[in-house]
């Protein structure tokens, strides 16, 4: 009993201290461990299995749109990084520099990639000659490094895992279409698989990617009312092509610059899953992304026939395509329940002697704790339905939470009041000037999250300066 | 016609200059491109797709044995690298050093991982407490960096992709069993999937991994008679555990050191596929690893109904689980044949108006160029058989080549003659002394490849010094 209490008590309540709750869940659900390498984490099996499922689902969706995977070097020579002015300004202050190879100093230092636009550009400048070579729709799965000062597991670490797509096109229209297409892939993935609703929109110039003409983003809202940038897709126009001299001979026999895009999603989405769906008992994983969907927990397992029946059920459920494990360790059922809840396994199936005698089992949903008695013979048919309902309900619940924490501000007074007292998204009009954006950051501590594709007219004037408004913007505090 | 000739002529004959032939194939089959980062390559879609298939197959086999995937940091603080004396001596001369993070010099420099024993040990020292925490059977897929002076695509590059498994066990016996188990996984994978026969054995102390108690290896023979170390599995005993203080409380309540293993396979296996199976027309991919297995090439495709029929066949074959593409570009059939051969696609299906009228197609095997006329309705049933035969024949052919290039030396005269004139494996007896190993390297330019598990007695005395022999050893020149 002491151990059971310890497991549950060890989590800080999310309402008391959300940041500590997050750290507790990340550790207690065994997603990561800290390392001797400051700012870098070790991703443990339970965490990495979630990333593998994210990879698998995203990669499949990418390939359906014609994406091909490649691999570029992890180091960038300094001279290569410096060719695009905005890009180097954005990234140079936060890269790790390799200065020695073996026992020798390098002639030119190289940075560990913080992102690979420069390497793909270098590659494309050699690989693209004719319109026949276009489009190039490449992606790589890799790790990148940004020398952050303050770090948090999954959300901001010096090294993180991601995919970065880099494409080259013959026309500006095609590049723009690909940029939006990939943003939609991300948005659909988040909603359908992670059960996280997102707002799609465009970043302001202040918030866009270093070197991009336009950055599109999907923004999600965490349980504590802070926003999380969840995936971005950039249209570079021909800016990089000019800096890296990527030209092709078009059908009309003229030499032209390509138009490029890039887009990425990272391990921070594991942080999003935790902060959107988790509760005071730990992690809650959406069934579609959960490495284990069903945890069979035998009750009084030492009695004859119990473990055999559990094994039989496990085999049946696996054959039905479910991801299942049986907890047959020698700990108490209560301890096992707590652990299943901490790890966020979507449902547990409780099976004791009386249940088995009655030919039934008790299914408990992780999100609602609803108990559903199901005939053992029906488990393979019923569990997929229960998991589907849970997946839908989780998205719906997250959407309701997001909508309930999305506020409208008509003027600065309203805006500051919301920013101070009501964590969430703030919808407010904007004149388009950087000055007002800076002022909202200074006075209310919020940043522009995006100019949503779905515009609304809240008023005719900028919430800040009162001049005519150009865009409705989502504002908020963000991770 | 000029273009067609160019494609074929561009490859150097393998008998004329094997190294140049290799480079030509790697480039012309579009597996890699060189980059601005010296010693690092860009892996292009055709190359990366092979790696994805290797990953998929190996990962599946790993997981069947209970392996779990994780991810450790890519940087190793210098003090962490230095804890195991042999290990640091082996790797320190060839690592890349990060000395600055952003604009600041680091307090302690860190190297980009050349391998991750030190990081896993650091992790295990915090994560393992009790016998209940054992075994740990972890693996990661990542890139590593070794500052090589001379590099060759896939075979030796400063950065390469691999998987590295790292395990911790309660007993020496369990660690040894896991070491051998993973070697067998590699051997089976090479033979069953890559159609590459291997010799399994143990490395001599001179050739073993820095810090290992025992290194086991699978060695394969390339077409030019040089050996390639294709996968290694190391038993560390408790050496690393003592250096990194990884102890656990055993069932008997005593504090003990864990026993560890590590094992890895890399992108160099793509080089092995090229050098074992390739020919003067380019790459030849074993069907089980080929990203595209069937290339449908329509003849006179502008005639009505040809492309439609090709599309219909493609759909049928895909539904049957084959990996298929149709080459409907506007180039000549001859050009398409050359390209299919260069890229090593296992079979092509030629379909012209007369064939279609007769309800048949011509299947051409890439390895033998055998032409097989097959009824179009039978393609989905016949192609898997043809691909299976090709897979078997490729392994058999490689085995015959290997056996025909495996020689026996009873004395130094024979050994030197073989080393000078007959590229291949040399089987010869060895006394077990480092001195003789060094002398064979000096006098005959060969190294010990392994002490095979299947021992034979060629003579009673060492081929070099004439003292009593302890082991029969495979020797050879190696990549």
How do the pLDDT tens digits run along chain B, 479 residues long?
344 445 555 799 999 999 999 999 999 999 999 999 999 999 999 999 999 999 999 999 999 999 999 999 999 999 999 998 888 888 988 999 999 998 899 999 999 999 999 999 999 999 999 999 999 999 999 999 999 999 999 999 999 999 999 999 999 999 999 999 999 999 999 999 999 999 999 999 999 999 999 999 999 999 999 999 999 999 999 999 999 999 999 999 999 999 999 999 999 999 999 999 999 999 999 999 999 999 999 999 999 999 999 999 999 999 999 999 999 999 999 999 999 999 999 999 999 999 999 999 999 999 999 999 999 999 999 999 999 999 999 999 999 999 999 999 999 999 999 999 999 999 999 999 999 999 999 999 999 999 999 999 999 999 999 999 999 999 999 99
CA distance B22 to A439: 61
Same domain, B362 and B431: no
Q: What is the ipTM of this complex?
A: 0.96
In chain A, what residues touch B270 (CB-CB under 8 Å)?
none
Residue from B199, B190, B236, B233 nearest B451 by CA? B199
Put simply, the answer to whether A123 touches B42 (Cβ < 8 Å) is yes
Residue A378: phi, psi to the nearest 5?
-100, -5
Put simply, the answer to whether A101 touches B97 (Cβ < 8 Å) is yes
Q: How far is B4 from chain A (nearest CA, A)?
A: 17
CA distance B175 to B165: 13
Same domain, A336 and A195: no
- Regarding beta strands A324-326 and B471-476, do their DSSP bridges make them parallel or antiparallel, or are they unpaired? unpaired
pLDDT at A6: 54
- Average pLDDT score over residue span A187-214: 97
CA distance A469 to A462: 5
Question: Taking the C-alpha atoms of B378, B381, B385 and B390 in order, what is their torsion angle to the nearest 10 degrees?
Answer: 70
Q: What is the pLDDT of residues A268-277, one digit of tens each?
A: 999 999 999 9
Same domain, A371 and A410: no
Cβ–Cβ contact A358 with B under 8 A: no
Beta-carbon-side half-sphere exposure of residue B461 (alpha carbons within 13 Å): 8
Structural domain includes residue B441: yes
Question: Which region holds residue B449: left if phi is over 0, alpha if psi is between -120 and 50, else beta?
Answer: alpha
CA distance A342 to A365: 13
Cβ–Cβ contact B150 with A under 8 A: no
Residue with tokens 């180091």, as numbered in its chain = A75
CA distance A37 to B92: 18
Beta bridge partners of B143: B161
Residue with tokens 């140079």, as numbered in its chain = A92
Q: What is the pLDDT of residues A318-344, one digit of tens each?
A: 999 999 999 999 999 999 999 999 999
Same domain, B427 and B359: no
Angle (CA) A254-A258-A260 rounded to 5° is 170
% of chain A at pLDDT higher than 70: 98
Same domain, A355 and A327: yes
Structural domain includes residue A367: yes
pLDDT at A1: 38
Residue A15: phi, psi to the nearest 5?
-80, -25
CA distance A104 to A92: 23
3-state SS assignment for residue B431: coil
Put simply, the answer to whether A102 touches B95 (Cβ < 8 Å) is yes
Compute the residue count for chain B: 479
Last residue of a domain, one of B229, B250, B277: B277
Same domain, B215 and B273: yes
Structural domain includes residue A53: yes
Q: How far is A377 from chain B (nearest CA, A)?
A: 28
Selected for mutation to probe chain B from A70, A132, A330 (highest B CB count within 10 Å) is A70
Structural domain includes residue A286: no
Same domain, A171 and A266: yes
Q: What is the pLDDT of residues A76-122, one digit of tens each?
A: 999 999 998 888 888 988 999 999 998 899 999 999 999 999 999 99
CB pairs under 8 A between A and B: 147
Same domain, B308 and B270: no
Q: Residues B420, B439: contact at Cβ < 8 Å?
A: no
pLDDT at B85: 87
Cβ–Cβ contact B93 with A under 8 A: yes
Q: How far is B269 from chain A (nearest CA, A)?
A: 16
Last residue of a domain, one of B216, B245, B277: B277
**What is the rounded average pLDDT for all residues in chain A?**
96
Put simply, the answer to whether B43 touches A71 (Cβ < 8 Å) is yes
Beta bridge partners of A34: A41
Same domain, A84 and A45: yes
Cβ–Cβ contact A122 with B under 8 A: yes
Cβ–Cβ contact B117 with A under 8 A: no
Same domain, B84 and B213: yes
Q: What is the CATH number of the domain that holds B204?
A: 3.30.930.10
Q: Residues A219, A230: contact at Cβ < 8 Å?
A: yes
Cβ–Cβ contact A137 with B under 8 A: no
3-state SS assignment for residue B89: helix
Structural domain includes residue A287: no
Residue from A387, A188, A368 nearest A286 by CA? A387
Structural domain includes residue A92: yes
pLDDT at B6: 54
pLDDT at A7: 52
Structural domain includes residue B394: no
Compute how many other C-beta atoms are within 10 angstroms of the C-beta atom of residue B319. 10
Nearest to B73 among A40, A52, A73 (CB): A40
pLDDT at B87: 86
Last residue of a domain, one of A211, A242, A277: A277
Structural domain count of chain A: 3
Structural domain includes residue B287: no
Helix (H) or strand (E) holding B334: helix B333-343
Q: How far is A40 from chain B (nearest CA, A)?
A: 6
In chain A, what residues touch B77 (CB-CB under 8 Å)?
36-37
Residue ranges making up the domain that contains B305: 294-386
Q: What is the CATH number of the domain that holds A456?
A: 3.30.110.30
Put simply, the answer to whether B42 touches A69 (Cβ < 8 Å) is no
Cβ–Cβ contact A45 with B under 8 A: yes
In chain A, the residue whose alpha carbon lies closest to the alpha carbon of B41 is A73
Same domain, A233 and A333: no
Selected for mutation to probe chain A from B60, B67, B70, B92 (highest A CB count within 10 Å) is B70
Rg (CA), chain A: 25
pLDDT at A2: 44
Same domain, A231 and A337: no
Put simply, the answer to whether B161 touches A71 (Cβ < 8 Å) is yes
**DSSP letters spanning A245-295:** T-EEE-TTS-EEE-EEEEEEEETHHHHHHHHHH-BTTB----TTT-S--EE
Q: How far is A451 from chain B (nearest CA, A)?
A: 31
Cβ–Cβ contact B89 with A under 8 A: no
CA distance A297 to A320: 19
- Average pLDDT score over residue span A1-30: 82
């Amino acid at each position: 009993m002491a151990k059971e209490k310890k497991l549950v008590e060890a989590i800080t309540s999310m309402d008391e201290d959300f940041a500590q709750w997050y750290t507790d869940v990340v550790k207690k659900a065994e997603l990561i461990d800290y390392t001797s390498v400051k700012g870098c984490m070790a991703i443990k099996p339970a965490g990495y299995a979630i990333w593998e499922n994210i990879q698998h689902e995203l990669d499949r969706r990418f390939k359906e749109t014609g994406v091909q995977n490649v691999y570029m070097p992890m180091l960038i020579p300094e001279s290569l990084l410096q060719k695009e002015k905005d890009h180097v300004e954005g990234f140079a202050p936060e890269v790790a520099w390799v200065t020695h190879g073996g026992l020798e100093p390098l002639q030119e230092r190289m940075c560990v990639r913080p992102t690979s636009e420069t390497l793909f550009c270098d590659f494309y400048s050699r690989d693209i000659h004719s319109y026949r070579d276009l489009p190039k729709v490449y992606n790589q799965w890799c790790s990148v490094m940004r020398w952050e000062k303050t770090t948090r597991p999954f959300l901001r670490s010096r090294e993180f895992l991601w995919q970065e797509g880099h494409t080259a096109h013959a026309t500006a229209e095609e590049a723009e279409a690909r940029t939006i297409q990939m943003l939609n892939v991300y948005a659909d993935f988040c909603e359908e698989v992670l059960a996280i609703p997102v707002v799609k929109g465009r970043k302001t110039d202040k918030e866009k990617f270093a070197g991009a003409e336009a950055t599109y983003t999907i923004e999600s809202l965490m349980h504590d009312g802070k926003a999380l940038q969840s995936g971005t897709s950039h249209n570079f126009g021909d800016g990089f092509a000019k800096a890296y001299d990527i030209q092709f001979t078009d059908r009309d026999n003229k030499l032209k610059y390509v138009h490029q895009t890039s887009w990425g999603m990272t391990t921070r989405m594991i942080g999003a899953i935790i902060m959107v769906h988790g509760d005071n008992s730990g992690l809650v994983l959406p069934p579609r992304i959960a490495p284990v969907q069903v945890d069979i927990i035998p009750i009084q397992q030492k009695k004859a026939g119990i473990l055999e029946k559990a094994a039989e059920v496990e085999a049946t459920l696996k054959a039905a395509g479910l991801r299942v494990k049986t907890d047959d360790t020698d700990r108490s059922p209560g301890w096992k329940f707590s652990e299943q809840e901490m790890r966020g396994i979507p449902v547990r199936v409780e099976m004791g002697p009386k249940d088995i005698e009655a030919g039934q089992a008790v299914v408990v949903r992780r999100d609602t704790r609803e108990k559903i008695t199901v005939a053992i013979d029906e488990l393979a048919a019923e569990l997929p339905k229960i998991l589907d309902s849970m997946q839908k309900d989780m998205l719906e619940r997250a959407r309701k939470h997001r909508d309930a924490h999305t506020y409208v501000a008509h003027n600065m007074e309203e805006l500051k009041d919301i920013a101070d007292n009501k964590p969430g998204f703030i919808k407010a009009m904007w004149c388009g000037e950087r000055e007002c954006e800076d002022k909202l950051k200074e006075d209310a501590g919020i940043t522009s999250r995006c100019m949503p594709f779905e515009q609304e007219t809240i008023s005719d004037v900028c919430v800040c300066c009162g001049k005519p408004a150009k865009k409705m913007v989502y504002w908020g505090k963000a991770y």
